Amino acid sequence: MFTKAFLLTAALCTTALFLPKAASADNAMDTDALKGKYLIEITGCNDCHTSGYAQSGGLVPEAKWLLGDELGFRGPWGTTYPNNLRTYVSEISEGDWVELARTLKTRPPMPWWALNAMTDGDLLAIYKYIKSLALVESAVPAYVSPGEVPKTPYIQWPVPPK
C-alpha cells in the first residue's frame, strides 16, 4: 500500500537523481589534483609565484595562479624572480618533477627545503594540479646578478645573519 509519505520520499529521491551536480571547476579535477591544489594553498607557493597574491590577502582568481612574478627579491644573491610553474611542469614528466623537487636547491628566498621534504605522493599531487591548469605563458624577468640594479620593482632583503 502506498502511503503519502512513501510517495513523497520516492518523488524526492527521483528529483535528487536528476538534479544536475553543482557546477564548479573542482568537480572536474581528480582527487590527486584536488589534493595538489590544497597543498599549493597551504604551503604558500602562490605567495611568491602568483603576482599580487600576498599583497591582496590571497584575492587572486585561480585562473591567474602560479604564472610567476616580475616582483624581484634582491639580496646578496642578486635578484631572483619566481618562475611560471605552469610552463615549468609542462616541460617535464611526472618522474622528472619528483626527482627535481627532491634535489632542488635555488637562490633565496625560494623555500626549496619544503619541496625536498615532501613525499612522492604530495609531489605528484602538486604536479597533477599544476598540469590541470591551462598553460598560460608569461614573461618572467631573468635573474639579475648582485652588482646590477634590477629594472623591475623589487623587495630588498638584508644580508643574512652569520
Residues that bind ligand HEC in the complex, under the rule CB under 6 A: 43-45, 47-49, 73, 80-83, 85, 88, 104, 106-107, 109-111, 114-115, 126, 143
Q: How far is the CB of 91 from ligand HEC (least distance, A)?
A: 10
**CB of 38 or CB of 88, closer to ligand HEC:** 88
β-strand partners of 50: 68
Q: How far is the CB of 24 from ligand HEC (least distance, A)?
A: 24
Q: How far is the CB of 10 from ligand HEC (least distance, A)?
A: 50
Alpha helices by DSSP H, listed for the chain, are 4-18, 31-43, 45-49, 85-90, 94-103, 112-116, 120-132
Distance CA 77, CA 94 (A): 30
Q: How many residues does the chain have?
A: 162
Cell 599544476 identifies what position? 130
Q: How far is the CB of 97 from ligand HEC (least distance, A)?
A: 8
Which amino acid type is present at position 79?
T
107, 124 contact by CB (below 8 A): no
**CB of 7 or CB of 41, closer to ligand HEC:** 41
**CB of 43 or CB of 132, closer to ligand HEC:** 43
**CB of 20 or CB of 57, closer to ligand HEC:** 57
